[in-house]
Amino acid sequence: MVIATVYHWKVEKGKEQAFEQAWSQATKDIYKKRGSLGSSLHKHKDGTYYAYARWPSKMKRTTMLLLPPYKKRMPMATLLEEPIVLELKEDYLRKKPKKT
């Protein structure tokens, strides 16, 4: 069962670029070394950030959480709430736009 998690951060003013770089590196490492299915980072108009990550199973995500904490790479960000964990039911996202 594929699951998704949604994260919500507040980043210190002036540290946005550092956060984006740290998030990108941590996400690439988690993808390559810990078995995630990838993630997307989004910035809201209020300046907070959201990330959407996918996992092949709850167990894979739980295993990753027991390993060295990746959030230590992002001291400039505060997680605003516990991640929301969702079970994937349907998927119509594309990696690239459909050619017309």
Architecture (CATH level 2) of domain 3-87: 2-Layer Sandwich (3.30)
User: Do 26 and 73 form a contact (C-beta atoms < 8 A)?
Assistant: yes
Task: Kindly list the domain boundaries of the chain, sorted by start residue.
Answer: 3-87
Structure confidence at residue 69 (pLDDT): 64
Structure confidence at residue 81 (pLDDT): 87
Which residues are CB-neighbours of 39 under 8 A, at least 6 positions away? 27, 30, 31, 51, 52, 53, 54
> What pTM value is reported for the model?
0.83
Two structure tokens written together for 78: 């505060």
Structure confidence at residue 96 (pLDDT): 72
- Rounded to whole angstroms, how far apart are CA atoms 16 and 76? 8
Note down pLDDT in tens along the chain; length 100 residues. Answer: 899 999 999 999 999 999 999 999 988 988 888 889 999 999 999 999 999 999 998 888 887 776 666 567 788 898 898 889 999 998 888 777 777 7
